[in-house]
């Protein structure tokens, strides 16, 4: 007579599955929205990484590229106050001193193309970040030959909700953010508004000018999102953004220390006004018409 023994780890998994079946517990699916249609992550054929809100909400004061760069096969270039260009699977711009006509990896924020303006990417009040590897030109055009990163802010809701965030740190770091959303007109108009201000002197001391802020951060991001419920089958989403970043750039010295001697420190600036309109008309359960238009206005000073 032979007796087969199940490993303890397998018994634990079976017991856990049984408990979930008895309690009727089901995990919320991860939804990918950067395709022609929203799909569950388990149903998409693309190589996609989704960074959810639970991994972003406490990182508002961090650099956007550092969070994106934590995903597998994703890297970024350096050479400014913030890294501006992304590489996916080894493909992408290696330097950022000369702006390319079409970056190899695109960046979309709430439907607006920020591929050449990634200094304006903020982590405050985001729903999720999606990283799509491989060519995505069919949907995103020439800026996505190696992949694309899409960013979704939190959407307007019927219930009034919001949050405040404040950060204080060394090097005179101070950051504050506020977001609020809810119903503006019953059964007609929803809205959400957010603002985030991030300031820091940076960690560089300029001995020539006797200043501690020549590599500092001065960033402002403001967003407004409106959802017009035209009918039961038709919705129009409007997004407005104002971004004003005036950062210093003073990082090079002969001794590779945190003390510089430059008489004219650099600046890393970007001022952006952008908007997007998205219309979705649901004809039936299997067919809908979706159209989008966006515009950005960039100023570098």
On whether the CB atoms of residues 81 and 214 are closer than 8 A, the answer is no
Tokens read off for 244: 């004003």
Residue, of 255 and 125, whose pLDDT is higher = 125
CATH number at 30-153: 2.170.130.10
On whether the CB atoms of residues 222 and 242 are closer than 8 A, the answer is yes
Alpha-carbon distance of 235 to 224, in angstroms, equals 17
- For position 12, what pLDDT does the model report? 45
Residue 113: beta bridge partners?
108
Question: Which pLDDT band, with edges at 50, 70 and 90, does 265 fall under?
Answer: very high
- For position 38, what pLDDT does the model report? 66
Mean pLDDT of 108-132: 90
Report pLDDT digits (tens) over 151-189.
999 999 999 999 999 999 999 999 999 999 999 999 999
Mean pLDDT of the chain: 84
On whether the CB atoms of residues 196 and 177 are closer than 8 A, the answer is yes
Residue 292 neighbours by CB under 8 Å, 6+ apart: 111, 276, 277, 278, 279
Phi, psi at 9, each rounded to 5°? -65, -40
Q: Is 0.75 topped by the overall pTM? A: yes
Alpha-carbon distance of 269 to 90, in angstroms, equals 27
On whether the CB atoms of residues 262 and 223 are closer than 8 A, the answer is no
The residues spanned by each domain of the chain are 30-153, 161-299
């Amino acid at each position: 007579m032979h007796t087969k023994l199940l490993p303890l780890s397998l018994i634990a998994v079976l017991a856990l599955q049984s408990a979930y079946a008895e309690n009727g517990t089901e995990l919320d699916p991860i939804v990918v929205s950067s395709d022609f249609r929203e799909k569950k992550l388990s149903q998409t054929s693309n190589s996609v990484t989704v960074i959810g809100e639970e991994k972003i909400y406490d990182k508002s004061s961090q650099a956007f590229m550092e969070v994106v760069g934590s995903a597998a096969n994703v890297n970024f270039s350096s050479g400014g106050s913030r890294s501006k260009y992304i590489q996916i699977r080894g493909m992408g711009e290696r330097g950022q001193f000369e702006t390319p006509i079409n970056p190899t990896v695109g960046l979309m924020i709430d439907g607006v193309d920020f591929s050449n303006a990634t200094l304006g990417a903020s982590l405050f009040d985001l729903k999720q970040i999606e990283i799509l590897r491989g060519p995505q030109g069919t949907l995103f055009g020439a800026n996505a030959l190696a992949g694309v990163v899409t960013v979704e802010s939190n959407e307007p809701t019927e219930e009034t909700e919001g949050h405040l965030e404040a950060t204080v740190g060394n090097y005179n770091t101070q950051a504050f953010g506020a977001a609020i959303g809810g119903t503006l007109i019953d059964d007609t108009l929803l809205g959400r508004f957010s603002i985030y201000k991030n300031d820091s002197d940076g960690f560089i001391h300029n001995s020539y000018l006797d200043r501690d802020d020549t590599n500092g951060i001065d960033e402002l991001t403001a967003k407004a999102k409106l959802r017009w419920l035209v009918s039961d089958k038709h919705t129009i989403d409007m997004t407005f953004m104002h971004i004003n970043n005036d950062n210093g750039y003073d990082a090079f010295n002969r001794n590779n220390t945190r003390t510089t001697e430059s008489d004219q420190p650099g600046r890393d600036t970007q001022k952006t006004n952008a908007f997007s309109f998205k219309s979705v008309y649901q004809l039936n359960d299997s067919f809908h018409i979706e159209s989008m238009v966006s515009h950005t206005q960039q100023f570098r000073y």
